[in-house]
Each structure stands twice: as structure tokens, then as C-alpha cells.
Copies of this chain bind each other. A is one copy, B any other.
Amino acid sequence: MNNDEVMRFRVRYGETDRMGTYYYARALEWFEAARTEWTRAKGLTYAEMERRGVMLPVVVSHVEHKRRADYDDLLSASCAASMPGRARVRFDVTISDAESGAVIAEGYTVHALMDSSGRAIKPPDWFVEFMREAAG
């Protein structure tokens, strides 16, 4: 399992709340963007996966919020992926302060595999192969 920086981004004003830090649910949007960029970095896109009929709905999400991050702070996301079972994908994401490296939030999401009609599926061969090479 490798762990790569997949993107840098700034906290948007609308992502803060009256406590003066990012609103906790927003971390899951950053996790999603990190998964998207991880997939692209590995040579495929999640949009293309969906066009091929594989959707990855989230079944579990878990975040540990470690530090505050305020408007306009420059953050970094790293991401790693694995298949903890025949029909499950897991992404581990860490959001850090891009300058100090201090961890802001870390956690994971577990995903089922579903076709475009919403039925659970076993992963097609191309998917398993992609994951083996990408997550290796």
C-alpha cells in the first residue's frame, strides 16, 4: 500500500463554520476529491469507471479530526487504496497542512461495487487488475 500526495487545495470560505475552522462534513468532500485524483494519477478516472458501469457508493465513512484548518489555508491530501474483500474497495485519506505537514484529518471510506441500475456486482476483471497495479 503506497501513500501519495494527490492534490493541494485551499480551504474555501464556505467550508468554514462559525467556530472558525472547516465544517467537519466538508472533510468528506476533500476525501472524495482525493479519491478522484488518486484514480487519475493511477491512469484511469472514476468518471470513466462509471461510464464502464462500475459505481462505488460509500458504505462506511470514518474521519478523525486532528487539527483546525481555517479559510485559505493550503492543504495537501494523500490517498491509498486497497481491496479488503472481493467486492469492497477502501480508500485511506490524510489531509495535512501543506506547509507544516501537520495532520488536519485522516480516515477512510469503504465502498461497495454497484452497476448503473443500482445492483451489487462482483468487480469485473479490468477493475481488479487496475486495483492490483494501482494499489500494489
Contacts and interface: CB of A to CB of B under 8 A. Distances in A.
Q: This chain: how many copies in the complex? A: 4
A62 B63 CA distance: 7
A37 to B, nearest CB: 8
Contacts of A18: 13, 16-18, 20, 70-71
A82 interface: no
Contact of A60 (B47, B63, B68): B63
Given A13-B17, A17-B16, A61 B60 contact: no
Interface in A42-79: 45-47, 55, 57-65, 68, 70-72
Contacts of A68: 118
A132 interface: no
B61 A63 contact: yes
9 contacts: A10-B33, A12-B29, A14-B25, A16-B18, A18-B70, A47-B72, A60-B62, A61-B61, A68-B118
